Copies of this chain bind each other. A is one copy, B any other.
Amino acid sequence: MNSFHVVQWIDGHLRMLDQRVLPHEEVFIDYTSAEETARGIRDMVVRGAPAIGCAAAFGVVVEAFRIAASGIPSSWPQAMAPGLRALEESRPTAVNLRWSLERMRPLLVSTPPGDVPQRLLDEAQAILREDHAACLQMGRFGARVLPDTPGRPLTIMTHCNAGALATGGVYGTALGVIRGAVDAGRAVRVIACETRPFLQGARLTAWELLKDGIDTTLITDNMAAHLMSQGLIDVVVVGSDRVAANGDAANKIGTLGHAICASRYRIPFMVVAPLSTVDRNAPDGSHIPIEERPMTEVTHIGGVRTAAPGVKVRNPAFDVTPAELITWFVSERGAMEHPTREKMRLLFLG
């Protein structure tokens, strides 16, 4: 199993792998303030809901150390407010970001002022460890309910990157289930959708699965329905950036179309996400904010303009798959078949 240094604490600052230039270059960027970290998140140096949650936690830590360097402030909450706001506003859809900040925030008042930076660091490290443990759990739970394909390999389609690169850096959510299947001894083939406009599938998923020696075939997003119609996909496994209280799941743009097509061809559709991704305050998917990103992501590819000049652009970064299209919702608590509001509620009592 490879380990990717997505988010790491090193020499007193935050270091992140620049996912924008993968797989062509492996570049690391250091962050020493919340403002800089927020910019890194917004510009997608790091992406993927759980990874953003980890990055934001360490963004809080570097901000606290930065402030403490010129003396312990009279009010930590006041001193940290601008940095926390910058982090909170960096990206709107992934709820793990806010979940992570809500874990850090109380420590600003519950900790003796001189101990705050170290206490925040301990908490950020705990978030990273828990993320890793949750991924391993999800991988095991998800792998157990993958369809049987006697006498032939299991073909799993995935969209975007819900892998090690989208989490703390080791196992991943959707790709954790794929790794879980491989670890359980199953023969697995992966169909990776390239995931326009940012090409997380072509650049990141293909790269990290090939590093693990997993058989991976790249397609453009619009080939998925054709492959499904030909019986070439056994199951679709994706991550999520925010799951509503009724099980509706926001994920990278394109996921909804895959779910609708999978439903037509009776192909199981699995969403894999830790409980930190569930937003119990969002009654259903219509309450999940959908980020609209810059138009150049659509008109340009790799810095080169491809589209006809003057054309208007829409660039929603996520869509919402209704719970009724989700066959399995896998969290660190187990694999839930056909999520409903009631089942989701019980999940948090467990």
Q: Interface on A for B, CB 8 Å cutoff?
A: 23-24, 191-197, 199, 202-204, 206-207, 210, 215-227, 229, 253-254, 256-257, 260-261, 264, 290, 298-299, 301-302, 304-316, 319-320
Contacts A223-B254, A257-B261: A301 and B306 contacting too (C-beta < 8 A)?
yes
CB <8 Å contact, B254 and A311: no
Q: How many copies does the complex hold?
A: 2
Check if B257 sits within 8 Å of A222, measured CB to CB.
Answer: yes
How close is A106's CB to chain B, nearest CB, in angstroms?
Answer: 36
26 A–B contact pairs at CB < 8 A? A23-B309, A191-B314, A193-B222, A194-B196, A194-B298, A194-B307, A195-B222, A196-B196, A196-B221, A210-B308, A216-B311, A217-B314, A219-B298, A219-B313, A219-B315, A221-B254, A223-B253, A224-B257, A226-B256, A226-B319, A226-B320, A229-B256, A229-B319, A229-B320, A256-B261, A304-B304
Contact at A216–B306, with CB atoms within 8 Å?
no
Taking a contact as CB atoms under 8 Å apart, the answer to whether B206 and A308 are in contact is: yes
A281 CB → nearest B CB, Å:
22
Chain B nearest CB, measured from A63 CB (Å): 34
Contact between chains at B307 and A304 (CB < 8 Å): no
Option from B221, B290, B308 in Cβ contact (under 8 Å) with A222: B221
Give, as a whole number of angstroms, the nearest-CB distance from A67 to chain B: 40
Flag if A310 contacts B225 (CB, 8 Å): no
**Docked CA distance A117–B170 (Å):** 68
Interface contact A302-B299, CB-CB below 8 Å: no
Q: Please give 18 more A-B residue pairs, beta carbons under 8 A apart, in addition to A222-B254, A302-B306.
A: A23-B309, A192-B311, A199-B307, A202-B306, A202-B307, A202-B308, A203-B306, A206-B307, A215-B312, A217-B312, A217-B313, A218-B299, A218-B312, A218-B313, A225-B260, A227-B314, A257-B261, A304-B304
For residue A197, which residues in chain B have a CB less than 8 angstroms away from its CB? 220
A309 CB contacts on chain B under 8 angstroms: 23
Q: Kindly state the separation between the CA atoms of A222 and B225 in the bound complex, as whole angstroms.
A: 11
- B residues in contact with A320, CB < 8 Å: 226, 229
CB distance from A40 to the nearest CB of B (A): 22
Cα–Cα, bound, A311→B219 (Å): 10
In the bound complex, do residue B223 and residue A222 qualify as a contact, i.e. CB atoms below 8 Å apart? no
Q: How far is the CA of A226 from the CA of B206 in the complex (A)?
A: 25
Q: How far is the CA of A115 from the CA of B206 in the complex (A)?
A: 58
How far is B311's CA from A199's CA once the two chains are assembled, in angstroms?
14
CB distance from A257 to the nearest CB of B (A): 4
Q: Which chain B residue lies CB-closest to A252?
A: B222
Provide the residues of chain B in CB contact with A313, threshold 8 Å: 217-219
**Bound-complex Cα distance A105 to B242 (A):** 61
When chains A and B are docked, how far (Å) is the Cα of A251 from the Cα of B256? Answer: 22
Chain B residues with CB under 8 Å of A253's CB are 220, 222-223, 226
CB neighbours (8 Å) of A217 from chain B are 311-314
What residues of B have a CB within 8 angstroms of the CB of A314 in the complex? 191, 217-219, 223, 227
Chain B residues with CB below 8 A from A204, complex form: 308
Which residues from B are CB-within-8-Å of A306? 194, 199, 202-203, 301-302
Residue in B203, B206, B220, B311 whose CB lies within 8 Å of A196: B220
Q: A221, B220: Cβ atoms under 8 Å?
A: yes
